[in-house]
């Protein structure tokens, strides 16, 4: 660890974050039968099937935002982390840390929102913990959702093959637009894309060679992760970029790279050229899916601009955008 | 929900806490195959064995205390919640929320402490999430540990039988003494009892009809829970009470009921009279175990005083003691 104190950059996604996580994980070396320890979820072989296990902590500001709230994002985050592994989520553990004096009506809104996603996805809340802290110990509310799922064939980040194509399940960045607009008082009708991606992944999972949801760190972080782990190069084309109009506009206005904008209800995946059309057709029933690039021999993530230039999309370093997920 | 805002009492353990949890759970009605939804861990039948799943949130003040720290208590809390169900813990998910500016050396101490318990118990940290929040959004650090385990025969809180005896695995209240002493500047050499109880429960689990660790809400809360769920009465004798000398002294000094003192490395269980001696002999290899009472027909928890009087030990209401676990 470099600096004396923990900095925001250590948790912002991107290169500095992944270094920080590596530093943390150095303390936990233990021989284990678990696999995919650096994936969205860890995997334990039960014999006939595999157990998948993940956790996510959420302190979002504001806690209510266009298109969702901290409860919805916590549920979606964990359900989606299981889903991108190809797993069927079977249960959620809900940990709430609430500040003394937090309005009951706000808590009820959040709980109803959690209950709604649970009902829609048929993923039950099966266990939990609730702590109330003295004023000032926490800002309003913190939610940690952990989830378990079952899977036969795991989708791994390391599975992208040369010749594959890269697909996104919908336009990217709306979560960032919705939250940044609230913060910077920018007028927009865009709502967060926060939603479970369980149904579409259940349908197309078997065709995917890798999959990941572009949350913290955005497209730049996850494509670099897939490229690194799969030991391949990913090439994007500028006119195939998946960002919504408002995401592009806000990115330019605030001078924040749109490639680091988080989405909370999308996934990016690779699939063979042969299966690409089938996958896109299925995904288009849910959202406007798109083919955005190809997997080639080499390493790193590159963008071919409309003028013919080649620009590397690096794993972002340090502080990307205000923390919004 | 009664008051307009959430109060400390809602999270302090005891009657008001369990009402609050019931209010929360009302939002999550969903048909599910999971069992033991109101136990320390939820249970899912996998066929040959059962999956056990639990979560715990920790904001402890102070984060370092005699006998442990927030990392150790988080690990022990979750490992113990799986262990009292009779399960073998197989993996922990570690969620860290860290305040910007938190000293790296303190984080390293906490992580080393987590790693030590992981190594000792052979329970690996398999997945995690790390968030860094702006200053003031959280006080220092919050840790949520979630755990999964496997079990064949579940120990349920509802299993105490008339004629059983009640056993504690060691003296109670040392965690409370260690933390309250730090807070109130009271001089003592007592260290927190915070420790994993995985090994002893593995040995005696098969003989127990119910088991629970007396954390938040202390002995009063868990005995009332066992009595309620098992539909029995529990009778304790005053001269068999399991509290350490310092716990008794501090309880009197601060005017806080010792029956609500949390312990973080003990369990209370019921077993048949026939197996009691065997269980005590095994437990005494680890700690000074003790038989503290009997299970009878009826309901509630009662203490027979040395003077022959009968006093009901009620599930504590409202704020018990400063939050120390």
**A10 to chain B: closest CA residue:** B132
pLDDT at B118: 98
Identify the burial level of B155 via C-beta atoms within 10 angstroms of its C-beta, where 0-12 means exposed, 13-18 middle and 19 or more buried: buried
What residues of A are in contact with residue B27 (Cβ under 8 Å)? Answer: 108, 111-112, 114-115
pLDDT-derived band at A77, boundaries 50, 70, 90 = very high
Distance CA B228, CA B220 (A): 12
Q: Is the minimum CB–CB distance between A101 and chain B shorter than 8 Å? A: yes
Using an 8 Å CB-CB cutoff, list chain B residues near A4. Answer: 103-105
Asked whether the beta carbons of residue B30 and residue A122 sit closer than 8 angstroms, the reply is yes
Where do we find the tokens 């005891």? B14
Is residue A101 scored above 90 in pLDDT? yes
**Does residue B239 belong to the interface with chain A, where contact is any CB pair within 8 Å?**
no
Q: Which residues of A touch B4 (CB under 8 A)?
A: 103-105
**Least confident window among A245-249, A319-323, B94-98, B125-129:** A319-323
Q: Can you tell me the distance from the alpha carbon of A295 to that of A302, in angstroms, rounded to the nearest whole number?
A: 10
pLDDT for the residue numbered B9: 85
Q: Is the pLDDT of residue A1 over 70?
A: no
Q: What is the pLDDT of residue B325?
A: 66
Span B192-209, mean pLDDT?
A: 96
Q: A62 CB contacts (<8 Å, ≥6 apart)?
A: A179, A182, A183
Q: Which two tokens stand for residue B258?
A: 């010792």
Cβ-Cβ contacts under 8 Å for B132 (sequence gap 6 or more): A6, A7, A8, A9, A10, A11, A12, A323, B98, B99, B100
The predicted model gives A194-216 an average pLDDT of 96
For A118-136, what is the mean pLDDT? 95
Kindly indicate the confidence band of residue A320, based on its pLDDT and cuts at 50, 70 and 90: low
pLDDT value at position A318?
Answer: 57
Contact B240, B292 (CB under 8 A): yes
* A10 touches B: beta carbon within 8 Å: yes
Q: A19 CA to chain B: closest CA distance, Å?
A: 12
Nearest to A97 by CA among A66, A67, A125, A74: A74
DSSP state of B162: T
Average pLDDT for chain A: 93
For A324, name the nearest residue in chain B, comparing CA atoms only: B133
In chain A, the residue whose alpha carbon lies closest to the alpha carbon of B95 is: A57
Mutate to test the interface with B, among A98, A127, A151 (most CBs of B within 10 A): A127
Residue B267 has pLDDT above 60, yes or no: yes
Position B248 pLDDT exceeds 90: yes
Smallest CA–CA distance, residue B6 to chain A, in Å, is: 5
**Confidence at residue A322, expressed as pLDDT on a 0 to 100 scale:** 65
Say what the pLDDT of residue B18 is. Answer: 85
Please, which residues have CB within 8 angstroms of residue B204's CB and are 6 or more apart in sequence? B269, B271, B279, B282, B283
> Which residue reads 């919004």 in tokens?
A324
B38 in contact with A at a CB cutoff of 8 Å?
no
CB-based burial, A53-85: b 16+ in 10 Å, e otherwise: bbbbbbbbbebebbbbbbbbbbbbbbbbbbbbb
For the segment A264-273, the average pLDDT, to the nearest whole number, is 97
Q: Which of B27, B59, B118 lies at the smallest CB-CB distance from A97? A: B59
| pLDDT at residue B319, as a whole number | 58
Quote the pLDDT of residue B116.
Answer: 97
B window 133-192, beta carbon within 8 A of A: 133-134, 136-139, 142, 144, 146, 148
The pLDDT value recorded for residue B194 is 95
Residue A55 has a pLDDT of: 97
Average pLDDT over residues B295-310: 95
- Mean pLDDT for A178-185 is 83
Percent of residues, chain B, with pLDDT higher than 70:
97
- pLDDT of B89 reads 98
Q: Which of A64-78, A114-128, A149-163, A306-320 has the lowest mean pLDDT?
A: A306-320
Element (H, E) at B304: strand B300-304
Name the band, by pLDDT with cuts 50, 70 and 90, for residue B318.
Answer: low
Q: Which residues of B touch A132 (CB under 8 A)?
A: 6-12, 323
Which range is most confident: A17-31, A307-321, B192-206, B235-249? B192-206
User: What is the predicted pLDDT for the residue at B322?
Assistant: 65
What local confidence, expressed as pLDDT, does residue A321 receive? 66
In chain A, beta strands by DSSP E: 42-45, 50-58, 64-65, 68-69, 88-99, 125-133, 141-151, 165-168, 208-212, 233-237, 268-271, 290-296, 300-304, 310-312
CA distances from B236 to A76, B60, B239 (A): 47, 31, 9
- In SS3 terms, B171-227 reads as CECHHHHHHHHHHHCCCCCCCCCCCCCHHHHHHHHHHEEEEECCCCCHHHHHHHHHH
Of the ranges A168-172, B88-92, B243-247, which one carries the lowest mean pLDDT score?
B243-247
Provide the mean pLDDT of chain B.
93
**pLDDT-based confidence at B228, cuts 50/70/90?**
very high
pLDDT score of B1 more than 80: no
- Put simply, whether A253 touches B (Cβ < 8 Å) is no
Kindly indicate the confidence band of residue B323, based on its pLDDT and cuts at 50, 70 and 90.
Answer: low
Strand partners, B64: B69
Q: How confident is the model at residue B39 (pLDDT cuts 50, 70, 90)?
A: confident
| Residue, of B55 and B182, whose pLDDT is higher | B55
The CA–CA distances, whole Å, from A318 to A21, A251, A314, B293 equal 13, 17, 12, 59
Task: Name the residue of chain A whose CA is nearest to B35's CA.
Answer: A126
Q: Does B22 touch chain A (CB under 8 A)?
A: no
CB atoms within 10 A of CB A311: 12
Checking if the pLDDT of A129 tops 60, the result is yes
pLDDT at B180: 86
* Contact (CB<8Å) B59/A7: no
Q: What is the mean pLDDT of residues B307-324?
A: 79
Both tokens of A150, joined, read 């079952």
For residue B171, name the pLDDT band (cuts at 50, 70, 90).
very high
DSSP B23-58: HHHGGG----S-B-TTSSSEEEE-SSSEEEEEEEEE
* Position B217 pLDDT exceeds 60: yes
> For position A34, what pLDDT does the model report?
96
């Amino acid at each position: 660890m470099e600096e004396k104190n923990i900095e925001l950059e250590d948790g912002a996604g991107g290169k500095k974050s992944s270094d920080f996580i590596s530093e943390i994980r150095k303390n936990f070396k233990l021989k284990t039968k678990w696999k995919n320890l650096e994936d969205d979820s860890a995997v334990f072989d039960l014999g006939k099937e595999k157990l998948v296990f993940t956790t996510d902590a959420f302190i979002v500001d504001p806690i209510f935002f266009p298109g969702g709230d901290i409860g919805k994002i916590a549920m979606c985050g964990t359900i989606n982390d299981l889903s991108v592994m190809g797993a069927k989520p079977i249960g959620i553990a809900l940990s709430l840390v609430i500040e003394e004096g937090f309005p009951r009506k706000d808590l009820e809104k959040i709980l109803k929102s959690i209950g709604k996603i649970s009902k829609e996805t048929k993923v039950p809340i099966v266990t939990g913990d609730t702590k109330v802290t003295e004023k000032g110990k926490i800002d309003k509310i913190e939610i940690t959702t952990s989830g378990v799922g079952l899977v036969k064939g795991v989708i791994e980040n390391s599975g992208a093959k040369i010749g594959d194509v890269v697909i996104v399940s919908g336009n990217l960045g709306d979560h960032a637009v919705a939250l940044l607009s609230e913060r910077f008082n920018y007028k927009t009708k865009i709502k967060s894309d926060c939603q479970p991606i369980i149904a579409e992944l259940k349908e197309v999972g078997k065709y995917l060679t890798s999959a990941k949801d572009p949350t913290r760190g955005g497209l730049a972080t996850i494509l670099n992760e897939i490229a690194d782990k799969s030991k391949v190069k990913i090439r994007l084309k500028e006119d195939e970029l998946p960002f919504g109009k408002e995401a592009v506009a806000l990115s330019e206005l605030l001078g924040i790279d749109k490639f680091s904008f988080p989405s909370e209800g999308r996934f990016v995946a690779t699939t063979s050229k042969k299966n690409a059309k089938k996958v896109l057709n299925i995904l288009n029933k849910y959202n406007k899916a798109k083919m955005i690039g190809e997997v080639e021999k080499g390493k790193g993530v590159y963008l071919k601009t409309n003028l013919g230039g080649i620009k590397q999309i690096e794993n972002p370093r340090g502080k990307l955008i205000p923390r919004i997920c």
